[in-house]
Amino acid sequence: MGKPTGFLDYQRQPIPDRPPLERVKDWKEIHDHRQDDKVSTQAARCMDCGTPYCHTGMTLAGVASGCPINNLIPEWNDLVYRGRWKEALSRLRKTNNFPEFTGRVCPAPCEGSCVLGVIEPQVTIKNIECSIIDRGWEEGWLPAQPPATRTGKKVAVIGSGPAGLSCADQLNKVGHEVTVYERADRIGGLLMYGIPNMKLEKREVVERRVNLMREEGVKFVTNAHIGVTHDIEDIRKESDAVVLCCGATKPRDLPVEGRDLNGVHFAMEFLAANTKHLLDHDFDDSRPPIDARGKHVVVIGGGDTGTDCVGTSLRHGCENVIQLEILAKPPGERAANNPWPEWPRVFKVDYGQEEAHEIQGEDPREFLVSAKRFIGNANGDVCELELVRIEWVRDEETERYMPREIEGSNRTIKADLILLAMGFLGPEQTIVEKLGLKTDARSNVDAAFEKYTTSVDGVFAAGDMRRGQSLVVWAINEGRGAARECDRYLMGTTQLA
């Protein structure tokens, strides 16, 4: 695929992000604009590798390897190299309902398993994907295409995150009447309020796609908190099937001394409130409900959500920000026990850390540390955080590695705002309990992969609610799969892939 000698002729050159000191002054996307000539050259690096692991989605060592939605990556790389962009878009849309989302926020497990990555820096797959769909929007290649006929079947999709939207999109394409219920005031779920605007613009990208789906016949109901404002049994009576795509939104807490002090928040409280404020106030200079301006911010958690907290705090104008990670600093290159095509567990600098380094002069992360105690002032506001260094030791009984505090390593740092970004424990249980759904050991809805059927007839589950906290691209995979099985349930057969 691509130019036969492209991987020898050209070096990897991703489209650069906007300069850190420029982009922290606004809430616009950090990504630079599409560069077609550069993208075509990068597509030429795609090898005729025989077995393209990039689009063979699988799980290796507990992490995604290759594309979970089986994007036809070598095919559209070749088409982009040859200047056949519209055909590349057609190939891309065969497997991915929302390339404009994954092309911006996916960590790109496809690149981690790129065969070229064994010997050279891998192909810039993510840049190419995003460029294809962005050009498609700009050229008007994505007109509304409502189904020619309707089946008369009604499906309710609960949740409008990536799983819910992909499920709704697929079911609408085959003619079912689809209504999506969202408890927030805007459609998008994680895409709207979980991911900051500088990573994924809401009006220009998310709402554009939602509006297209609306033109194609999908109905959206906001401020619909099922089990609170809307009765799930009423929805079941009005529908021929229900698909639950409510996400895994129960955050992991840190029950240490001082947890109830003012200024200690879950990361999603901080991020969602910020995005809602920006949209409600048209991105003016007014201050959000949880404001990091002038504060010593501590982010506890080293994942993507923690990085988003770092980037958001910097844009607020915080005094400084520190990000704490209980794990060890990853190596600079793949370790022996992390071979290709596994996801490379190596040290990376994401956008938030890059911005903090430019502003503060150093990477904000500290590894192998744990929060011991939150300390407050006379007003009940958090003002300090006691830390302790830890080491990982193997437990002889369980043979698992456990964190152990290093004696005498305690220290105290300033902390006016503490953000807990330690992941999620599973779905909230309101709907689960209302329907009496069977759950697994992790409190996720029990619905077999590739089947998506729950213990209640006519009710399906997909996305993080079924599999636990995961990637946007896995959510799209699951939403598509649940739509396929729901269509089969309704019609006896299905044409959905």
Give domain status of residue 1, yes or no.
Answer: no
Q: Is 415 found in the same domain as 297?
A: yes
Q: Is 120 found in the same domain as 42?
A: yes
Residue 304: half-sphere exposure toward Cβ, Cα within 13 Å: 13
Amino acid 242: pLDDT = 98
Amino acid 35: pLDDT = 86
CATH number, domain of 206, equals 3.50.50.60
- Does an H or E element contain 357, and which? helix 351-360
Give domain status of residue 433, yes or no.
Answer: yes
Tokens of 126: 């993510």
Amino acid 337: pLDDT = 93
Q: Is 402 found in the same domain as 258?
A: yes
Give me the number of domains the chain comprises. Answer: 3
CATH number, domain of 117, equals 1.10.1060.10
Q: Is 135 found in the same domain as 185?
A: no
From 104, 139, 174, the end of a domain falls on 139
Residues 60, 471: Cα–Cα separation, whole Å: 15
Give domain status of residue 497, yes or no.
Answer: no
Q: Is 324 found in the same domain as 231?
A: no
Amino acid 1: pLDDT = 62
Q: Is 257 found in the same domain as 238?
A: no
Q: Is 468 found in the same domain as 445?
A: yes
What torsion, rounded to 10 degrees, do the Cα atoms 193, 480, 473, 73 define? Answer: -140
From 84, 109, 139, the end of a domain falls on 139
Which residues of the chain carry a pLDDT beneath 70? Answer: 1
Give domain status of residue 297, yes or no.
Answer: yes
Residues 486, 242: Cα–Cα separation, whole Å: 8
Q: Is 169 found in the same domain as 89?
A: no
From 86, 116, 139, the end of a domain falls on 139
Q: Is 398 found in the same domain as 264?
A: yes
Residues 213, 235: Cα–Cα separation, whole Å: 21
Tokens 């007014």 sit at which residue? 286
Amino acid 48: pLDDT = 86
Give domain status of residue 145, yes or no.
Answer: no
Structural domain boundaries, residue 95:
6-139
Q: Is 171 found in the same domain as 61?
A: no
Q: Is 358 found in the same domain as 277?
A: yes
Q: Is 235 found in the same domain as 202?
A: yes
Give domain status of residue 96, yes or no.
Answer: yes
